[in-house]
Structure 1
Amino acid sequence: MLTDYLFTYYALFIMLGGILILTIHDVFLNRRMIRCLRIATFLILALSLSDTLEKYYAEFDHVTVWRYIFSSLSYTIRPTIMVLIIFMVHRTIRFVVILPAVINMFLAFSWPFTDVVFYFNKKNVFVRGPLAYTAYVISAIYLLYLLILSIKFVSEDSYEESQILFFIALAAIGAALFGIWLPDTETVVNYTFGADVLLYYLYTYFQFTKRDALTGLYNRQTYYNGIRRYEQDVLGVISIDMNNLKWLNDTYGHDAGDQGLVALSECIKNELSFGDKAYRIGGDEFVIFCRNSSGDIEQISAKIRSSVTQKGYSCALGYTSEGTISQMIKEADRLMYEDKARIKKQMKLDGRMPVRD
């Protein structure tokens, strides 16, 4: 049995072992994501072992309690893995999302009291009860939830995330259909779960290469790619520079400077319209590509400046909606530096904090 198990799931072990090694050395993902990945990995391994042991006890000519236990475990683990995938995607999760998996677990382990899910006859033959497909139905509900999330991400202009979620859901749907209509397809289902977890991990890791680690905005490399990608779509450009960052770092320490940059980035995120892209392209420099409506660019800039001021910081802005994307970037930059010089001059006249950047 052990030899067959190792041979059947050899590639799965390599895949899941690789995920565990990556999570040990990962410096990008947060603790919650790493914890979910590790739990999902161990659950997939547990599912493969449970399915193998259930098949082993199925060869007996009499019913054993172990076959009941491993069958119940397999029924329980599959929807639980779906919950973890949703948790990795959704960032936050409510109890109502977990509830179907909890109900399924109680039903799966109800065999000492009732035969509503499954039972084994005297010849050790598996017999489905009226609620035998509960685990599959609940998994289907979770898959539908993933598809709804993918549509939600499209509405938020997160096309890449919507595509990856759709692909994960499609793969899981195929595995679920195999499990319902074809016998002895547990291996396919388990491999699919493993592939889904690995796929989402790689996607998430890839996202960190595109974003600034401190602010969560897109980074400089993505900015250059955006210039090429959105060349025909950008209707306006806003250039932003945080004032007094060097003064903050020198006076209160770099943590204070980082807090200021995060506060500024949050103000930017709060004012973005559908399709707009925000980038941190330098230490205190930010750029917004407005792709929705150039008519709102002045209002967006004013709101950002007001929000930053309310948080106790200051920023210089320049914006324009005329010319090609390259021309708009240059003009917005020029106007931003003019605004910065004006603010510095006014601060010195008012006798406020020294400006040394």
Structure 2
Amino acid sequence: MIKNDFLQNIVQINCIPVLIIIFLIFFLKINYTYEKDLTKKFIPSLVILLALIVVDNVDYYAYDAAEVTGAIDLLHRTAAMLGYDLRITLMASLISVAADRLSDRKHTVFWTYLPALVNVFVLLPCLFTDLFFYYNPDGSVGRGPLAFEPHFLSAVYMLFLFALGFLCRRKGRHNEMGILILCGALTIMGFLAEFLFALRGILIGVVALDITFYYLYLHIEHFRFDALTRIFNRDAFIADVEKYGSGAISHILSIDLNNLKVLNDTYGHGEGDKALKAIAKALERSCLPGCFAYRVGGDEFAAICLHKKTEAVEAMIADMYKAVEEAGYSCAIGYAEWGSGQSFTEVYKDADDKMYHKKRQMKNIASDPMRVRYENKAPAGENV
């Protein structure tokens, strides 16, 4: 039996986080071959988590020191400062993964980490002043006027996480919304447990679980998304049709990108991929709440609408045409209302037929945005 209280505490505090990290390292390693991009996004969280465990154990050692010397004081202040910021940076690393998945803006990851980076400089006075904490004459630790600054920033990050959760709902990713809100709620519970009951190691264990939950969820969800366009794929389309059925799905859309083969043959598949990405983004952005877009084939897309009136769907389709045209491409869209007594096959065929009818009407492409976009690039004697 171990008699050293300090060693007992260290083992007790670190057991669960270390076991979770070992599992996560093992899973990341075996999964790297199949999902390199996803795995790379979680490596910063893993590194920060390992650093935080080391720093917190140094902090516990300095905090529990029998005699506070100048060296112990500096060690405690340094470990406390790093621990404060690593906690916040760890939250930022998890949130950056979600933000990067949901936002089309450049530098999303940088802006997510920026408050945590600025916080490093805010915490520097902790080393030389009593603004964050100080020692009382009896050796106990007191809180300074800025003691709760890291907690305030943590709360801001949690609000950001909840906001991303509701953005997931807007994009039809209800399961991801649940995971992000659960991660945020567990983190808050872990923080309150440490803060109210003076417990140690709880928050690290909770955040380690958050990272593991989210990674495993994204690993599963990876198979629901189209690798090129990052919108839902055909499997997700079929699954959602079965999930919602005629009771919830009011309309089904069939969408086809015009002239993709010509584009691929003339300018290469790189330009074709660019067109598919642009179309997917335009469709997803144009979808109303409760409407979801899917890539179901090479140049084929689909969408479902839940509990929508025909007027609203027609207005959404007009927005889709406008967004696709602004991107420099064109597409044909057909839709059908899912009435009672109809099968999915019948409704989808109806939407498909209307899409092809629209496509035939668009055969005269003299004003086709794609033609305008590429006519100056076409080789001599060729037309898009």
TM-score category by the smaller chain?
A: 0.7 to 0.9
Equivalent residue, structure 2, for 1:205 = 219
Secondary structure of the corresponding residue to residue 235 of structure 1: strand
> Cα gap change, 1:270/1:140 in structure 2, threshold over 3 Å: closer, same or farther?
closer
Conservation of the 8 A alpha-carbon contact between 2:232 and 2:294: yes
2:254 aligned to which of 239, 247, 251: 239
Conservation of the 8 A alpha-carbon contact between 1:101 and 1:138: no
**Mapping for residues 81-230 of structure 1, pairs under 5 Å:** 81-91=90-100, 92=108, 98-99=114-115, 102-103=118-119, 105-106=120-121, 108-121=123-136, 124-154=139-169, 157-183=172-198, 185-230=199-244
Equivalent residue, structure 1, for 2:85 = 76
Amino acid across the alignment from 1:241: D
> Cα gap change, 1:138/1:233 in structure 2, threshold over 3 Å: closer, same or farther?
same
Equivalent residue, structure 1, for 2:47 = 42
Shift in Å at residue 224 of structure 1?
Answer: 0.9
Conservation of the 8 A alpha-carbon contact between 1:237 and 1:332: yes
The percent identity for this pair of structures is 28
Q: Does 1:304 align with 2:309?
A: no
Equivalent residue, structure 2, for 1:288 = 303
Distance in 2 between residues matched to 1:96 and 1:267, nearest whole Å: 25
> Cα gap change, 1:89/1:96 in structure 2, threshold over 3 Å: closer, same or farther?
closer
Amino acid across the alignment from 1:159: H
Distance in 1 between residues matched to 2:114 and 2:327, nearest whole Å: 38
Shift in Å at residue 155 of structure 1?
Answer: 5.0
> Cα gap change, 1:61/1:229 in structure 2, threshold over 3 Å: closer, same or farther?
same
Distance in 2 between residues matched to 1:297 and 1:95, nearest whole Å: 35
Amino acid across the alignment from 2:51: A
Q: Does 1:333 align with 2:352?
A: yes
Distance in 2 between residues matched to 1:306 and 1:336, nearest whole Å: 17
Shift in Å at residue 220 of structure 1?
Answer: 0.9
Question: How many residues are paired up?
Answer: 347
Q: Does 1:254 align with 2:254?
A: no
Distance in 2 between residues matched to 1:193 and 1:265, nearest whole Å: 34
Conservation of the 8 A alpha-carbon contact between 1:249 and 1:257: yes
Please list the CA deviations of residues 120-164 of structure 1 after superposition, one character each: whole Å capped at 9, or x if unmatched: 356643333343333233323322332344344445544323211
* Structure 1 spans left out of the alignment, 5+ residues: none
Please list the CA deviations of residues 196-229 of structure 1 after superposition, one character each: whole Å capped at 9, or x if unmatched: 1222222233332111111122111111111112
Shift in Å at residue 239 of structure 1?
Answer: 0.9
Conservation of the 8 A alpha-carbon contact between 2:52 and 2:86: yes
> Cα gap change, 1:322/1:145 in structure 2, threshold over 3 Å: closer, same or farther?
closer
Amino acid across the alignment from 1:337: Y
Shift in Å at residue 112 of structure 1?
Answer: 4.5
Shift in Å at residue 19 of structure 1?
Answer: 3.5
**Alpha carbon RMSD of aligned pairs, Å?**
3.3
Equivalent residue, structure 1, for 2:368 = none
TM-score, scaled relative to structure 1 = 0.82
Shift in Å at residue 87 of structure 1?
Answer: 2.3
